[in-house]
A and B are shown apart, each in its own frame.
Chain A
Amino acid sequence: MTQSSDGKPGQPDPAGEGDLASRLDRLDRQLKQRSETDTKAEADAAGRSASMGAGVANALRLSSEFVAGVVAGGLIGWGFDQFLGISPWGLIVFLLLGFVAGVLNVMRAAGMTPGPRVD
């Protein structure tokens, strides 16, 4: 015998069918169930469209992240060369490091490596 939470029988007997309280109770349960499925579907749709936008954003990101790393490394190396007069070693070393940073950027943009963190 299945029993609902308030102790009444889950399957209303013929006499209880006319009982207003049990009908209201049943309606209440059904409404709650329906609204739950509705909000779940809504959240799913929102999540899907958001992940699509994020996917396109990531695709656009990947192409430029690598180049940016190399350029940043090259600029730093060139700056060291200019101000310390160690040309061409600054450019050589930092261009290579920039290359590494670019690869790191791409891996982060692709979600293969976690981002930088404190602690």
Chain B
Amino acid sequence: MAGASDPIHQFQIVPLIGDGTFAFTNSALYMGLTVAAITGFLLLGTSARTLVPGRLQSLAELSYEFVATTIHQTSGRDGMRFFPFVYSLFMFILISNLIGMIPYTFTVASQLIVTFALALAVILTVIGYGFAKHGLAFLKLFVPHGVPLVILPLVVVIEVISFLSRPISLSVRLFANMLAGHITLKVFAGFVTMLSGSLGALGLAIGVLPLALAVGITALEFLVAFLQAYVFTLLACMYLNDALHPGH
């Protein structure tokens, strides 16, 4: 009973195979499912390769063009070299969020360490590519122009902190939105059973209100699932743009 109505219960990591640090957990299972779903979707969508696309091929082309447009708008033509990376990020977050919307499933992005690993992948790519392309000149990213020499050290420190806060904001935003949304949904749905359990028929009548809210929040959560994937992708593109054209 405690497990059924506890809103945090759905985020528990349960080892499925093995034990300890390297156990195959439910989180790993759903990540695997996500990757399998994306791979299956793209393989099926591109298998026909007709000039006039079918339904699945339209969807596959739509997802490609959506990400490609996002990259073009934020970092121009050069940004397309990061397309495989950005597309993988977008699809992984989007599909794992959507799978998490199915009742009784696990939401991968509700674990901070998962979203932080994704954000770290973006930032490390920015740093790695920035240094590879511009060498030590990339460090000028932290030294703004036209600042008096007296306060320059202070400004540089602030710029460095601002840069280091990027993976934090990137990961916490995705994590917090998914966590809070799923908790809210569970709490409102729990009200229905709690009301009817304690007040009987009257409770069931009042329970219509939280039920209606839960339906509304479900729709909102689908929007958030997509929007968070989009925001993550958009910001990843903007940060990658810093590595591409720091002189922009």
Contact of A117 among B145, B162, B164, B177 (CB under 8 A): B145
Which segment, of B18-26, B134-142, B196-204, faces chain A?
Answer: B134-142
Distance in Å from the Cβ of B172 to the closest Cβ of chain A? 6
Interface residues on chain A, number (Cβ under 8 Å)? 31
How would you classify the secondary structure of chain A's contact residues: helix, strand, loop or mixed?
helix
In chain B, positions 172-204 with a C-beta closer than 8 Å to chain A are 172-173, 176-177
Q: Is B165 an interface residue (CB 8 A)?
A: yes
Q: Is A65 an interface residue (CB 8 A)?
A: yes
Bin chain B's interface residue count: 35 or more
Q: Is B59 an interface residue (CB 8 A)?
A: no
Residue of chain B at shortest CB distance from A98 = B161
How would you classify the secondary structure of chain B's contact residues: helix, strand, loop or mixed?
helix
* Inter-chain contact B138/A64, CB cutoff 8 Å: no
In chain A, positions 44-61 with a C-beta closer than 8 Å to chain B are 50, 53-54, 56-57, 60-61
Supply 18 A–B pairs (Cβ within 8 Å), ascending by A: A50-B69, A60-B177, A61-B169, A61-B231, A64-B173, A68-B169, A69-B161, A69-B165, A71-B168, A71-B172, A72-B168, A97-B154, A98-B165, A100-B158, A115-B242, A116-B242, A117-B144, A118-B140
Q: Which A residues have a C-beta under 8 Å from some C-beta of B?
A: 50, 53-54, 56-57, 60-61, 63-65, 67-69, 71-73, 76, 94, 97-98, 100-102, 104-105, 108, 115-119
